[in-house]
Amino acid sequence: MGRISDSWRSHLLTTFSGESSGRPGWVSRIEQGDDAGFFGPDSAAWVVHGGMATLVAGIRALLMQTLHPGAMAGVHDWSRYREDPLGRLSGTIQWLITVTFAGTDQATLESSRVGKYHARVAGTYIDAQDVERPYTAGDQELLSWVHAVFTDAFLGCHELWGKPIPGGADQYVDEWAAAGELVGVQHPPRSRAELKAQIEGFRPVLKSDDRVLEAVRFIRNPPLRRSMLPAYRVLFAGAVASLPEEHRVLLGLRRSPLPVIWATGIVLRSVGRILGTSSSSEDAARVRLARIERERHTV
């Protein structure tokens, strides 16, 4: 059982970080910097993004993003998710973790890296009214949609499977608005009510088509190790169950009649035991903060 656990741990860490040690170079760089970053210890963002519910939140966010035809066009036309899905995943995780735990300079630099990649993303798509429209990755509508569904997914999943959030839902939404601004969102929501209203405002532009169904099939059956697929399928079912019904219908998905919310909690706790309770990213951030505190007392 120990060998199986070690194998799972190595594969999970490689999946999430790109390295079997779980500590790639960009995590080590979180120790650098001269401030607490945009959030700091015991912030809502640290608690939400340091929890195991992020595994389900990532699935939910990806599913939701596909429903905006402009966002789906960008993924379809430019993303290499079919050829290198784990590379795309680890790149997204790098941005999320860096912005959450690193100092402000590094978080800003990482967001600029993402922005430079997105700068070349452009094309056209057919909207919900069958009108062809141009798009770029920097369009406010697309940026706002991606930020809103990301925030909603991580908040909703943490409330189902995570521990209490310092300051509650409003605090998390308000804090994570800073991340939206870093990637160009001009008016990110600042409260749960604003977040809900913003997502509701997108209702007329959302649609499902063959591209969406193709992406959903891929997210449902990603190229993971066969031994990991049963656990992943539970997490996928949990993500689907956490979605509002109207979005499940658009995605062509049904909530399982089985107790998947409970089962997802079991899987998340099991994965947490395999990976360990200590987060290398949070540990690196605390090393930075301890160094800053020492330097402050020696000046």
- Domain-embedded: residue 62: yes
Tell me the C-alpha distance between 133 and 73, whole Å: 11
Could you tell me the maximum CA-CA distance found in the chain, to the nearest angstrom? 65
Tell me the C-alpha distance between 82 and 91, whole Å: 15
pLDDT tens digits for range 130-189: 999 999 988 999 999 999 999 999 999 999 999 999 999 999 999 999 999 999 999 999
- Domain-embedded: residue 238: yes
Task: Name the domain count of the chain.
Answer: 1
C-alpha dist (Å) from residue 126 to 112, 146, 167, 249 = 29, 18, 41, 20
Tell how far CA 108 is from the center of its chain: 18
* Structural domain that includes position 104: 2-292
- Domain-embedded: residue 168: yes
pLDDT tens digits for range 106-123: 999 999 988 777 778 899
**Predicted TM-score (pTM) of this structure:** 0.90
Write out the two tokens for 121.
Answer: 């993303």
- Domain-embedded: residue 297: no
The DSSP element (H or E) to which 133 belongs, if any, is: strand 132-136
- Domain-embedded: residue 247: yes
- Domain-embedded: residue 299: no
pLDDT tens digits for range 2-19: 444 444 444 454 555 555
- Domain-embedded: residue 217: yes
Range in 119-133, 183-197, 214-228, 264-278 the model is least confident about = 264-278
C-alpha dist (Å) from residue 22 to 9, 25, 49, 280 = 9, 10, 16, 8
Name the β-bridge partners of 135. 123
